[in-house]
Structures are given as structure tokens and as C-alpha cells.
Chains A and B, each alone.
Chain A
Amino acid sequence: MRHFLLALFCCLSLHAVAGVDTAVLKQLASEESDDKIAAIQKLARSADPDAIKTLHDLAEGTLKDDKGEDITVNNRVRREIDAALAALRLFDADPVARLSAAKEVAANADASMAPVLAKALAKESDPKIKGLLAEAHALATLKDAKPEVRIAAAKALASSADPNIKAVLKAQSEEANEAESLVRRAAFQSYLEVKDRLTLAETVGKIFSGLSLGSILLLAALGLAITYGVMGVINMAHGELLMIGAYATFGMQTLFRNHLPDYLDWYLLAAVPVAFFAAAGVGVLLERTVIRWLYGRPLETLLATWGLSLMLIQAARVLFGAQNVEVANPSWMSGGLEILPSIVLPLNRIVIVGFSLFVLALVWALMNKTRLGMFVRAVTQNRPMAGCVGVPTTRIDTVAFALGAGIAGLGGVALSQIANVGPDMGQGYIVDSFMVVVLGGVGQLAGAVWAALGLGIVSKFLESWAGAVIAKIVVLVFIIVFIQKRPQGLFALKGRFVEN
């Protein structure tokens, strides 16, 4: 009978879409929106592949009724169509389409969807989609007429990590929305579980972004800590050495794009040594021409290096233009790691945290396991004494400065992946990296590490309740107050010093 009607229908109207029940079509063509919605929901429940096409046409306004006239839809109906389409796509053969449909349905599941969701849930094999569907199904049955169904739904939702579900459960646990006390209790229990999970996830997310900020600060401050420790020199051009590293990365990207387009994804690995040596080279140049002549005059060095930083900024403007240049993430660094639906850790930040650990390990090994590192530490602790026992102090100065500059260059590579690369980029980090050095104490790797990570994490936590600007101000004020208490920083060098 149905097939017969269908064939007849096709013959009668060439414009009409095949595969749809005339009764449903008639209902769709009704003047009343409520009738239309009922018909759409009927289609959605049918799980019939043809229904998708019909609904699409309906949404586009190209569906004709039996008299060959366009069926018009209003916004309310359109919303229903979207929901119905999402429900129908739950049965798609492609898991990707099913996943996106499941996400859409989960966002606005209501009681009428429950049967479809149950059907989809039974058919589904992919665990991820299954989880989403189970959540959507529970959400849809939360308003069921039977209390035991509602309790089951509330219990099922306890495993969720979605902020919306938290709000729904909270509402369900209130007397105004739910008459049954057992359901209220179940909902409240689940609400607490979801809330705890979300708080944990949020904390993990904040700690991670704090670590990420801290690792950037560490890369920026590590070099500064070495030069300040060894030479007592405040290098105001340190930020510009970061900039040189970032521009070196940009240069490698351009080089690869033009000459080795097949290996473009690996330009970043090539940029690491190039940035190190470019920044170290500039560092040696600065040390030999200017800074070496200013030993014992730290305040003058501060001014001279500030002058150098101005010249480097302007040089970058002349060479590369005043605009920011574009440095793209390689494909293996884009995307993120989803630990929970609400928390995604960007891959590029994870790579940077790892990279800063690598740099830190390298510097630690260099400082503690090599002869050069021993010399550097000796000069840091007592310059005249080190000189007396045969440490070539001036050469150590140059090497230490080059090393500090090179590490800044490495920091520039990392920065180019998450921040804008432009002539002024270094200026934004100079105050922060000084704060790390001041907080950590002079010439102390451990101090720099603790200070950088601590500052990063504390800033991120403050940011979440006070906003970025206030957080920054609070951190600066905290450091200023802290310095009053411990002028030598967190990790002071032990020993006796004569002032002046």
C-alpha cells in the first residue's frame, strides 16, 4: 500500500520529494505550526534516511505540498527541523557525522527525543559517541513522567563533566522544579559529583595554563639569571634577544617554504639551533663592544643596554617592517589534547612546556657537569678569587653572556609559536623576566625555576577571579613587598659579601 502510494505520488508531482508519507506531508503543509512540528517530530523518530532529505528541503523552503505549492516555515519550526535533523544524523554511517550530531543533540535534548536517543544508543558501537548519547538520553528522560525513570536519569548524569548538566541537575534538585524528594536527592547527589569533577578539571586547566605561562617566563628569565648572576649586569636588551630568536624562526620558516616545502613541518627543529646561535652571536657582539667596558657600573650598564635595545628594535623595524610577521604552528603542533569536554590543552603549549624542560635540563647539565659551568659558577660566587686561581674571567664573561643570549633566542622560538612576532615583542617580557630573577635570587637556577613556575601558576589563579590586569598588578605588588622581606630573593647565595 505504501509503495503504491509512493509511486503514485511520484507520478502525480515531479516536484515533490520521493519517500515521504503523504499523510505526513499533508501535516507538514498544514497552516498551524503545531501540526508542522508534530509532523517533523514524527519524521525524526522514524529514523528513515529519506526523512533527512525531506527535512532539508523543508528548511530550504523548496519542499512542495500535494498541490505543488511551497511549504513555508517560521523560526520556531526551523528550530524543530534542526533538532530533528541532528537526531536523524545519529544514524549516519559516518562516525564523524554521528559524533557531531550527538554533540548537537546533547546540547538541547528534551523529552520528545528520548525514544530516538534510546534507539541510537542501542545501535551505537563507538564508545565516545555512546557516552555522549547516554548523557543526552539521561538528559532527555530527566523530565519523564515516571519518578523511577527520572531517578535513573539523574544517576546516569553523575558521570558527566558538562557545565550545562551541572546547572540542569541543580535545577532538578530544587523543590520548585521537582516534586519527588527521592529524585531531588538523586539529582543533588549527581550535582555534587559533577561539580567536584568540574572543579577538579578547572583546577587542572588553570595549573596547566600556569605551567605554560611559567615555562615561557622561565625561558625568558633563564638567560637573564645567568648574565645577572655572573656579571651583575642588568641586560635591558634581553627582550630583544628573544625577538631575534623569534625572527630567526620566522626566517627559517620562509627558507623552508621557499626551498624545502616538503619538509615545512620541520622548520621549527631547524630554527632551534639557528635561533640559539643568532641570538648568541648578537650577545657576543654586545658584550665585546659595549657591556665589557662598563663592568662595575651596573646602573650605567642598565642605561647602555636600554639604548642597545632601542637600536635593535628599530633595526628589526627597518629589516622586517613595523608590522608583526606571521609564524605558523607546524601541523604536528596544532590541535589539542581533550582531557575533559570542558578542558582542552593546546598541543603547542604542551610542546613548549616540554621544550622549556629540555632547555632547563641542558642548562643544568652545562652549569653543573662541565668545566665551563664550574668556571661560570666560580665567577658568580667570587670573581677576584676565581681570577686568582686561574679562571679566565673575561672570557667566561663573554661565554656566559653568549649563553644567556642564546637561551633567550631559544625562548624566542617558543614565543613565536604562541605570541605575535614583531619588533616590540621583547618589551612585553622584560619586566616579567626581571621579576622572576629578582624573586628567585641571583645566579640560582633553582630560584629561577621556582619563581617562574610559581609566578605563572599564581597569576593564572588570580586571573580567574580578578581579571588579567588586576592579577598582574597584584603579582607586581606582591614581588615589591616580598623584596622588602627577602632582598636576596627566594634562594640567596650563601656566603659573606662586602657591600660597596
Chain B
Amino acid sequence: MNRTPFIVRFLQATPKSGWISLAVFALLTLVIIPVLHLAVAEGSAFHVSSYVVTLVGKILCYAIVAVAMDLIWGYAGILSLGHGLFFALGGYAFGMYLMRQIGRDGSYKADLPDFMVFLDWKELPWYWTGSDSFIWAAVLVLVVPALVAFAFGFFAFRSRIKGVYFSIITQAMTFAAMLLFFRNETGFGGNNGFTDFKRILGHSITSPEMRVTLFGLSALMLMATLVLGRYIVTSKFGRVLAAIRDAESRVMFLGYNPLYYKLAIWTLSALLCGIAGALYVPQVGIINPGEMSTANSIEIAIWVAVGGRATLIGPVIGAAIVNLSKSFFTQAFPEYWLFFLGALFVVVTLWLPNGVVGLWQQMRQQMQQKRRAKA
């Protein structure tokens, strides 16, 4: 059988316009912003402040999570209220490494992380073994969220739990994990989580170079996620997923087993969230169990809904819109932020079922129709 080679199919999955947009995005995030941040003097009008770099870097990480959420919600119809957990697990996995990198520079000048000294622990718990190695931390970031998702997903999908039931039990799972991480005895810093990071691979974490590196890595990861996502949703696998979303019983009658399709996309989605979390933590400098709160996980869903489900660029736009407005509101009108966010949930679900991207497409169609009517 003469099949198109994988690499060609992979490259063809993203249309030409998509590659051009990605190139522009790459130029902006990998060249222009770093140069403006590092090389242009601070007083200059063209200087990009560290606040902006950190904020945009944060949003890039959120955007990865949003795309991951879209893969599972938009394309497979499974609303997860547990993505905050996978994000936080990735963050914690990398945070362990960052805590070990502090070395003896903590407030207690001890080999152990400060919170362990505070709890009067004498040695590292077994699950901290190897946490001083970057490679091991990277492995944990990839494996832990994926493994948790796989185990949870396997049992949930096997019993054909779906719809709101699935959403609710993912919420319960996240809630249970949050309670677990809040305990001091769990060994992840309890309430305060991990903070006060000093360096990565021996380099200072607060230096502008490191900031730009993390920023660039987040941008690269987002682009990779988008390209991979495009490949997945245009492949045969992606079409089966969409079929499962639209009529699961029929897919089963046709001889497919939805379990493995759902499980694969679910695990991949969690893995992407974990990576986003690992990139997020060194940029914001803290990870605590609050990241696993119910509210955070639901907010991820609204990023996707605002941007437009089942489009890959939508979640990126949605994450940017919601988080930029959050930064704006919490500074300018802190008491109205929750009103705005709440209204956003309602308005988007009632009137914008396809999000901003859907609105744009609708407008473009109407304009084309008008033009045709004139001609």
C-alpha cells in the first residue's frame, strides 16, 4: 500500500496559512521580544519590561493547557474539571527539582528544603529520591500526570462514565488531591507549597536571560502543541474521536472500542498540562495546592469556551483574553473581576457557543454572502 510518509502527513496537517502564522509567532516570541527585553535599555519606549515578559510567559503556559483541554473537550466531548490537577502535578514535579537547587541558600542553611527543616524531618522522603537531577525531574514531569490520568481514565472510561458524571468525578479527584497536598505530612510543603526558588541547572532563576529562555521554551512548546494537535485532529484517530463525541453508541456499533481512543487523548492532554505546569512554575516562582482548586480547573474550561471549542487557535485566544482581562481587572477594578468572569461564563455559553473564533467565522460568512448578493 502506498501511504504518504508520516512526516509529509504531519507537515500537511497544518495548512500553509497556519505555518505562516506560526512563523510570525515564532519571530515575535523567539526574536523580537527577547531582543527588546535584553538589548534595549530600560528607559527606552521599545523596552519590554520583565513584568510583561512574565505575564505573557504565564499566558503562553495557560494557552498550552487550554489547547490540551480543547483536545479532550472540543474534539472528544469530555469536559474535564481535573486539568488543574495535571497542571499542578507537572508544576510540583519540577518544583521538587527547583527546591533541591536552592541547596544551602534557604533560610535554615540546611541541605533539606526549608519546610522539611521546619517540620523537623531528618531526611528526604523516598519519593524525593533523585529530585536533585534535572533529567529525573523532566521524567517525572512527563510521567506523573500522564500516569495519574491513565489510571483514572482507564477505570472511568471502561465503566463508560461520561457527561456530567465524568466532570463531577474529575472534580472530586482534584478536590481530594488538593486536600492531600494541603497536608504538611504529604511532604510537598503543605499550605505554602514550593517557593523561593534560586536557580535552574546552576543558573540564577531571576536573571533576564533565564526569564527569556523560559519564555521562549513556553512559546516553542505552545507551537509544538498546536502542530501536534492539528495533526491529531485531522488524522483518522481524530475523526474517530469526533465521531465518539457526536454519537458514541454508533461508533461502538461500527466496531470501534471508544475506550482506547478516549484514553489516549485523555492521557496526552494530561501530559501536555504537566509540561505547561513545569514551565509555569519557574516563571511565576511559586506552586501551592491552590492551583488544584475547583475554580482553577473550571476556569480552564472557560478559556476554551471563550475562544471557541473544536478550533485549535480558539483556546489560545481565549486564554489570552481571559487572563489579560484578569490582570486588567484585578488591578483596576478588583471588586468587579468576579462579576466580569461570571458574566463571561453565562454570556459565552448562552450566546457564543462557538466562541470568539466562531463569531469571526460567522461574520466573515455574512460578509461573503452580502458580497455575493451584490454581485
Contact = CB atoms under 8 A, between A and B. Distances in A.
A290 B350 contact: yes
A431 B294 contact: yes
Nearest to A293: B350
Give the size category of B's interface with A. Answer: 35 or more
Contact of B155 (A431, A473, A484): A484
Contacts of B79: 299, 302
Contact of B353 (A300, A314, A485): A300
A476 B172 contact: yes
Interface string A413-454: 000000000000001001100110010000000000000000
Interface in B130-188: 152, 155-156, 158-161, 163-165, 167-169, 171-173, 175-176, 179-180, 182-183
Interface in B344-366: 344-346, 348-350, 353
Interface string B313-340: 0000000000000000000000110110
A5 interface: no
Contacts of B349: 294, 297, 300-301, 303-304, 307
Interface string A462-500: 000000010011001101110111010000000000111
Interface stretch (B89-97, B111-119, B277-285, B297-305): B297-305
Contacts of A290: 346, 350
Given A303-B349, A311-B338, A472 B343 contact: no
A145 interface: no
Chain A contact surface mostly? helix
Contacts of A431: 171-172, 175, 294
Contacts of B336: 314
A388 interface: no
A357 B26 CA distance: 64
Contacts of A304: 345-346, 349-350
A88 to B, nearest CB: 47
B171 A487 contact: no
B47 to A, nearest CB: 37
A318 interface: yes
A310 B305 contact: no
B339 A311 contact: yes
A205 to B, nearest CB: 25
Given A298-B164, A311-B343, A480 B338 contact: no
Contacts of A481: 155
Nearest to B180: A473
Interface in A192-251: 232, 234, 236
Contacts of B163: 298-299
A483 B305 contact: no
A297 B152 CA distance: 25
Contacts of A309: 342
Interface string B250-267: 100000000000000000
Contacts, number: 126
A483 B169 contact: yes
A310 B339 CA distance: 7
B341 interface: yes
B77 to A, nearest CB: 8
Residue among A290, A299, A309 with most chain B CB within 10 A: A299
A317 interface: yes
Given A314-B339, A480-B169, A487-B160, A307 B345 contact: yes
A498 B250 CA distance: 12
A9 interface: no
Contacts of A307: 302, 341-346, 349
Contacts of A472: 176, 179
Given A314-B338, A435-B172, A473-B179, A483 B167 contact: no
A36 B144 CA distance: 71
Contacts of A303: 298, 301-302, 305, 345, 348-349
B369 interface: no
A480 B156 CA distance: 9
Residue among B156, B160, B248, B339 with most chain A CB within 10 A: B339
B1 interface: no
B373 interface: no
B8 interface: no
B7 interface: no
Contacts of B20: none
A317 B338 CA distance: 11
Contacts of A293: 350
A308 interface: yes
B346 A308 contact: yes
A290 B182 CA distance: 36
9 contacts: A300-B305, A304-B349, A311-B346, A314-B342, A315-B339, A317-B335, A318-B335, A481-B155, A484-B156
Interface of A: 232, 234, 236, 290, 293-294, 297-304, 306-311, 313-315, 317-318, 427, 430-431, 434-435, 438, 469, 472-473, 476-477, 479-481, 483-485, 487, 498-500
Given A307-B341, A310-B339, A431-B171, 9 more contacts: A298-B164, A302-B167, A303-B302, A306-B345, A314-B342, A434-B172, A477-B176, A479-B172, A483-B156
